[in-house]
Amino acid sequence: MKKLINNPDNVVRESQEGMAIAHPDLIKIHLNPHFIYRADAPIQNKVAIISGGGSGHEPMHGGFVGMGMLDAACPGEIFTSPTPDQMLEAAKTVNGGVGILNIVKNYSGDVMNFEMAAELAYSESIEVLNILIDDDVAVKDSLYTQGRRGVGTTVLAEKICGAAADQGYDLKTIAELCRKVNLNGRSMGMALTSCTTPAKGSSTFDLGDDEIEVGIGIHGEPGRQRISLKSADEITEMLAISIIEDSSYTRTVREWDVDQGEWIEVELTDPPLKSGDSVLAFVNSMGGTPLSELYIVYRKLAEICEQKGLQIVRNLVGSYITSLEMQGCSITLLKLDDELMKLWDAPVKTASLRWGI
């Protein structure tokens, strides 16, 4: 295993300490339990946005803490869910008195622990709503997930909800907004190579010299198919068409009913993309794929969107939700309306996403 690390046990802590040292104007680190939070938190009368999940996907989530995006990020060990005590302490630290939105990627451990954290927060009179991101069209049910996995749309939801919180949206409205982003967003990824977690020290999975995995998860979970290497254009087409032609997806999610004070089951259906829609196109590196290759993917994606009558009105190209040094990419298409576009354009100042300020 060749990595720029010291003791494998300390990778997450040392990396996040480095972040905090590099960006003291933006973030602070809290240890025992471990989370990153805005240096100017808590901000009174602003809904706080928290996310978190296993580490190894950097810059998500710690790199998105700051003005106009997250108030706190709770990192687990690499590819391992964070624990409820991290989420609870983060909630108490950034609580501005008007509630907290937890943006939760759909992995069983994350879902369970964020639910427990919400209950603990309620018992301390902090109002919390959890919204699930489950945008990966590749597979239904996976290694660590019931239903679709949460991937690229998470980054976009964090940006958009962070802007809404800045603009004074209340908790319930931000939760509805986050749900809308999730229902409007679809993603799919692929891997050219595996990755190696420091704890294991060897490849997470094996992939032949001429093989790629299409529909892979961000922890190397199996995708739709393992096929021989294809051209960038062919790969882009496989991902883009799967996303664009994905039909309505209906799932039942557990959400906290504020009025009843209990968990209820809610059925949600996302509308399929259709010709004439405006979209944000997000081409993401799995970590080890260089930017130059992402633009080759973007070039083909733009052509396909045009053929399908989708107008790309915003985009994001780079490494935002990664799997350590895995080579490969993911594509996310988020249907935009005027509200989402305005919130996307709003100023943001974090370690890894910044504009307008």
Choices 11-19, 94-102, 115-123, 334-342 (CB under 8 A): range interacting with a second copy: 11-19
Q: What are phi and psi for residue 279, nearest 5 degrees?
A: -135, 155
Task: In angstroms, give the least distance from the CB of 144 to a second copy.
Answer: 20
Q: Are 50 and 70 in contact (CB under 8 A)?
A: yes
Q: Which residue stretch of 92-100, 112-120, 243-251, 286-294 sits at the interface with a second copy (rule: CB under 8 A)?
A: 286-294
Closest CA to 207 of 196, 191, 218: 191
Nearest to 287 by CA among 256, 318, 259: 318
> Which listed residue (138, 287, 304, 343) binds a second copy by CB under 8 A?
287
Asked whether 185 and 333 are in contact (CB, 8 A), the reply is yes
Q: Which of 102, 105, 104, 103 is nearest to 118 (CA)?
A: 102
76 is a contact residue toward a second copy (CB under 8 A) = no
Q: Which stretch binds a second copy (CB under 8 A): 36-44, 133-141, 272-280, 312-320?
A: 312-320
Distance, in Å, from the CA atom of 171 to the CA atom of 155, rounded to the nearest integer, reads 19
Quick check: 315 binds a second copy (CB under 8 A)? yes
Rg, the chain, Cα only: 19
| Residue in the block written with tokens 């009843």 | 260
Closest CA to 2 of 202, 155, 172: 202
Taking the alpha carbons at both ends of the chain, their separation in whole angstroms is 40
Mask for 100-139, x = binds a second copy (CB under 8 A): ----------------------------------------
Which member of 174, 235, 238, 253 binds a second copy (CB under 8 A)?
235
Report if residue 55 touches a second copy, rule: CB under 8 A.
Answer: yes
Give every CB contact of residue 174 below 8 A, 6+ residues apart in sequence: 47, 49, 101, 161, 164, 165
355 in contact with a second copy (CB under 8 A): yes
Residue among 54, 298, 304, 331 that touches a second copy (CB under 8 A) = 298
Q: Tell me the closest approach of the beta carbon of residue 217 to a second copy, in angstroms.
A: 17
Answer for which of 15, 86, 182, 330 binds a second copy (CB under 8 A) is 15
Distance, in Å, from the CA atom of 238 to the CA atom of 174, rounded to the nearest integer, reads: 33
Contacts with a second copy, 198-217, as mask; x by CB under 8 A: -----------x--x-----
Q: How many residues bind a second copy (CB under 8 A)?
A: 59
Instruction: Indicate the residue among 19 and 133 with the shorter CB distance to a second copy.
Output: 19
Q: Which residue type is seen at 350?
A: T
Does position 4 interact with a second copy (CB under 8 A)? The reply is yes
Provide, rounded to whole angstroms, the least separation between the CB of residue 11 and a second copy.
7
* Binder of a second copy out of 29, 98, 227, 302 (CB under 8 A): 302
**Which is nearer to a second copy, 111 or 155 (by Cβ)?**
155
Q: Which has the closest alpha carbon to 334: 277, 276, 255?
A: 277
Rounded Cα gap, residues 78 and 82, in angstroms: 10
CA 283, CA 235: separation in Å to the nearest integer?
Answer: 13
Closest to 83 in 3D by CA, of 61, 49, 115: 115
> Could you give the 3-state DSSP secondary structure of residue 270?
strand
Instruction: Please give the positions annotated as active site.
Output: 57, 219
Nearer of residues 16 and 145 to a second copy, judged by Cβ: 16
User: Is 220 one of the binding residues for a second copy (CB under 8 A)?
Assistant: no
Which residues here bind a second copy, judged by CB under 8 A?
Answer: 2-6, 11-12, 14-19, 21-22, 55-56, 58-59, 63, 192-193, 209, 212, 229, 231-233, 235, 287-299, 302, 315, 317-319, 322, 324-325, 327-329, 351-352, 354-357
